[in-house]
Structure 1
Amino acid sequence: MPKINELYQNPEEKLKATNVRWRIFIIMLLLGAINYIDRTSLSIAMPYITEEFGIEDTRVVGAIHSAFFWAYALMQIPSGVLADKFKTRNIIAIATIAWGAFQAVAALCHGIFTLSLSRLGLGVSEAPIMPAGAKLMGTWLTPTERGRGSMLLDGGAPLGTAFGAVIIAGLIGFFGNWRMAFVIAGIGTILAGLLAWWYIRTYPNEHPKINKAELEHIEKYNLDSKKTDKKYKLSDIKPYLKQRNVLALIFGWVCYSFVFYGLMTWLPLYFQATYGFNIKSMGSAMAIIFLVCFIGQLTGGYIMDKWRNAGGKTSTVLHTMLAISAITAGVGIFLCARSDNPTMAIILLTIALFPLRWASIYWSIPSLLGAQKVAGTICGTMNFTSNLFAAILPIVIGFIVQATGNYFAAMMFFAASAIGYLICSLLINFDKQMDIYE
């Protein structure tokens, strides 16, 4: 029995595939951007919060920042299992609405403890988005589309950090306090969650807007685009931890996260302490650096897919792109730390971050290596480990800055992490499929 939308479709329209899959990933890009606007809001508001709460010790600042990462990290593996067991559409919508509520509630906090609790709630509710997005990528995109898909899925990080700096700084300046900025950001997030519920579907054959041509395109190249009755549990990850590719994936993401999250968290205070930036110049610098980072991320995804479509070997393409990403980031950060010129520091960091987010291809690697059925669990484990270390990172950096009185040693730590990201990326064997355990 044909569907109603097929009966009334013009035969010529059937020849042209719809682009429902890309609209879904544009929505995921929007959610990712809002995700990072909410995360970045604390970094931008921190100079005002430290003054209002009377915080003078950078170690306390590090502890507040780490609250989010502890919760986010500890929920990654459970979130990956949820993504493998339940409808990703439901998980994405519910998580987005919940984190919007926690973002708004932070405006009611008047102390370190309650603010930290609100960040814990934000971390728990944001945790399912990326593992669920990795599942969507495996069911909706063909293998040679997943480079662009990865960049869209994870592109919200630099985009949200860039616009978050401008939006939150602008709202703080307009209202004269950070609380209204948090409320408005929270309401916007809740509305985005409703949009996700309205448009996203877990599987292509469930979507009312997809036509036969697009569905056939997806199913022709992607055998995992249909429903499966197989359910996965937390313990399923154990045998995968014995595989070199999985370990390289996990620790490469850890090292990359040290670089990106370290800069995202500490750059506002770094610019203020090192170069004397005010809220306006700080917001502008963050916007420039992370907007270019977003452009670089999309550029990298396009190059990867184009290169592979032209016949490029997967291992050659990805090893080359990831090596450029790591080396450029490490050298740029190293040179920035040795510069006393604020303009040059912004230029160097902009260059360093342009290719950094090419690491987003990590989200598609389990699917590329034949592990789509457990991609949520593997990606959840990858993100759990990286965010567990990311939870410790603000505390460590806080101690380093407090002990040295400047940010030079912290910047050297980020540069060294880029070397770790390089080594682990090169250890991934793209010619070997992951072993699957039923």
Structure 2
Amino acid sequence: MMQRRIGNVRWGIAGLLGTGILINYFDRINISVATKPFEQEFHVSSGVMGIVISAYLWSYVLLQVPVGVLLDRFGVKWLVRIGTFFWAVASYMTAIVSGLGLVFLSRLILGAAEAPIFPGAAKATGYWFPTKERGLATSAFDAAAKFSNVIGVPLVAVAVTLWGWRAGFYVTGTLSLLYCALFWIGYRDPSKSKRLAPEERTYIVEGGSQQEGQEAGNPLANLGFLLRQPKVWGLTLGFMAYGYSFYLFLSWIPGYLQTALHMTVLASGFYTIIPWVVATITDIVIGGWLVDALIKRGNNPTRVRKTLFTIGLLLGIAVVGAAFTTNA
């Protein structure tokens, strides 16, 4: 009953952010799906292909801290609007250009353009959700990164099979452009939203939402403070390991299946989705709903998160078996 009285505009925002992450990852996976035909057209080795695939991460990583400062200064709305437009530009550029160097440049542009989306979604979630709902809200857009492979890989694989590898970039570029328009129309901070009822606004604020507006303090001083915190280094090391594993699967599963196990592009696309289906479900059910439910019952939040996180790490050891597999 309480949910009906206060409204659900905030969950619409969660859906909007999740859709952005979904399409954002379509742009990242398209070149991975097209590995074999791309290598054949440009006559490049797997080593060179690895550089092309990872190029967007170079600009993406370098811009994370500057983007965080810009988000604190200018807010979510404009930075993500600009970024989403250039997702489309980068994808269309990759589809059109004829030289390997220009493909590499388009990947660098893609990384720069995509840098705001994850920190922007996290910041928007802080604005729009009370503390007790933030786990589920965060898991919604985080799960979208996994779910993008469930629908994006087969989608791009079909396009590549029917019309060639460049078609996959036209598809993702068009989807990015459509999302740019959707975000432009649909996102406002809570204080500027005309759709947000006073009851829901009060519920969000009283529940511990983060305050809107420019962050106080000097950005360099704030960064220096964070770098002196052991927790920050712990999270950094953890995300380094997570990022390596995540992008290893994201970037190389389709190409590995095509090259080592001799699958077609289409078949590799459908085999690729299997681990991502599981990841999507566990992200929402365990990383979101279960965490929030256990905390609401009075369990220590830190203990809940550490326990579930440790279980996930132990289950991840199972991937070692893939190194000894010789067939699909």
Aligned pairs for 1:196-215 (under 5 A) are 196-202=183-189, 204-215=190-201
Query: For residue 153 of structure 2, what is the amino acid of its counterpart?
Result: A
How far residue 147 of structure 1 moved from its aligned partner, in angstroms, is 1.0
Query: For residue 225 of structure 2, what is the amino acid of its counterpart?
Result: P
Distance 2:170 2:85 in 1: 13
How far residue 314 of structure 1 moved from its aligned partner, in angstroms, is 0.6
The 1:98/1:234 distance shift into structure 2, 3 A limit, reads: farther
Aligned pairs for 1:268-287 (under 5 A) are 268-287=254-273
Q: Structure 1 vs Structure 2: percent identity of aligned residues?
A: 28
C-alpha distance after superposition, 1:18-67 (max 9, x if no partner): 11111111111111010111100010012111001111x22111111121
Aligned pairs for 1:130-141 (under 5 A) are 130-141=118-129
How far residue 255 of structure 1 moved from its aligned partner, in angstroms, is 0.6
Q: Would you say 1:322 and 2:309 are equivalent positions?
A: yes
Question: Corresponding residue for 2:172?
Answer: 185
> How many residue pairs get matched?
327
> RMSD value over aligned CA atoms?
1.9
How far residue 231 of structure 1 moved from its aligned partner, in angstroms, is 6.0
Query: For residue 143 of structure 1, what is the amino acid of its counterpart?
Result: T
How far residue 275 of structure 1 moved from its aligned partner, in angstroms, is 2.1
Residue 39 of structure 2, aligned match among 20, 26, 50: 50
Q: Which runs of 5+ in 1 are unaligned?
A: 1-11, 343-438
How far residue 143 of structure 1 moved from its aligned partner, in angstroms, is 1.4
> Are the counterparts in 1 of residues 153 and 270 from structure 2 also a CA contact under 8 Å?
yes
Aligned pairs for 1:176-255 (under 5 A) are 177-202=164-189, 204-222=190-208, 224-228=210-214, 230=216, 232-255=218-241
Distance 1:325 1:34 in 2: 26
Q: Would you say 1:296 and 2:296 are equivalent positions?
A: no
The 1:132/1:231 distance shift into structure 2, 3 A limit, reads: farther
Distance 1:13 1:244 in 2: 40
Q: Which runs of 5+ in 2 are unaligned?
A: none
C-alpha distance after superposition, 1:318-345 (max 9, x if no partner): 001111111111x221122223342xxx
> Are the counterparts in 2 of residues 85 and 232 from structure 1 also a CA contact under 8 Å?
no
Distance 2:193 2:217 in 1: 22
TM-score (normalizing by structure 2): 0.95
TM-score (normalizing by structure 1): 0.71
SS at match of 1:96: helix
**Structure 1 moving runs of 4+ over 4 Å:** 12-15
Query: For residue 221 of structure 1, what is the amino acid of its counterpart?
Result: G
Distance 1:125 1:226 in 2: 24
Query: For residue 262 of structure 1, what is the amino acid of its counterpart?
Result: L
Q: Would you say 1:171 and 2:159 are equivalent positions?
A: yes
Question: Corresponding residue for 2:77?
Answer: 89
The 1:281/1:251 distance shift into structure 2, 3 A limit, reads: same
C-alpha distance after superposition, 1:58-89 (max 9, x if no partner): 21111111211101111111111111111211
Aligned pairs for 1:359-370 (under 5 A) are none
Question: Corresponding residue for 1:118?
Answer: 106
The 1:207/1:75 distance shift into structure 2, 3 A limit, reads: same
Query: For residue 40 of structure 1, what is the amino acid of its counterpart?
Result: I
> Are the counterparts in 2 of residues 17 and 211 from structure 1 also a CA contact under 8 Å?
yes
> Are the counterparts in 1 of residues 74 and 214 from structure 2 also a CA contact under 8 Å?
no
SS at match of 1:155: helix
The 1:135/1:14 distance shift into structure 2, 3 A limit, reads: closer
